[in-house]
Amino acid sequence: MAFSRRFPRDVKGSPYPVWEEVYLSAEEERKLEEDARKENLKIMQECLADAKTIASEKHDEEDIVALAIALFEKRASHAVYWKEEAVKEKFDKAYRPSS
């Protein structure tokens, strides 16, 4: 099932917007998931390094993984966010041409 999102588009002369459904192609969705995965791996590596630094300062090396996971949850960009941004860009290009 392709990723999609609905956006309101103003219609001249009507107080009500028309809702447009915008879809990502299977290829676009796969590419975004791959990009998100690569970025998340990079972020997790940074979080592990930061967790080791924090743990060594506190002389508590037991909770490095838990600390890294907590840092990752705060920093990570998730695939859904990336897909939503891509769909929004497609909508803007199609229905809101630049001035």
Phi-psi region of 6 (alpha: psi -120 to 50; beta: other; left: phi over 0): beta
Q: How does residue 7 score in pLDDT terms, banded at 50, 70 and 90?
A: very high
Does the pLDDT of residue 80 top 80, yes or no?
no
**Stretch 62-73: mean pLDDT, rounded?**
81
Which position has the token pair 């995965």?
37
Q: What is the pLDDT of residues 8-49, one digit of tens each?
A: 999 999 999 999 999 999 999 999 889 988 888 888 898 888
- Residue 60 belongs to domain spanning: 4-95
Confidence of residue 91 (pLDDT cuts 50, 70, 90): very high
pLDDT of residue 6: 94
DSSP code at position 17: P
Nearest Cα neighbor of 9 from 18, 91, 87 is 18
Q: What is the DSSP string of 31-96?
A: HHHHHHHHHHHHHHHHHHHHHHHHHHHHT--TTHHHHHHHHHHHHPPPHHHHHHHHHHHHHHHHHS
Whole-model pTM: value is 0.66
Is residue 77 scored above 80 in pLDDT? no
Domain count for the chain, please give it. 1
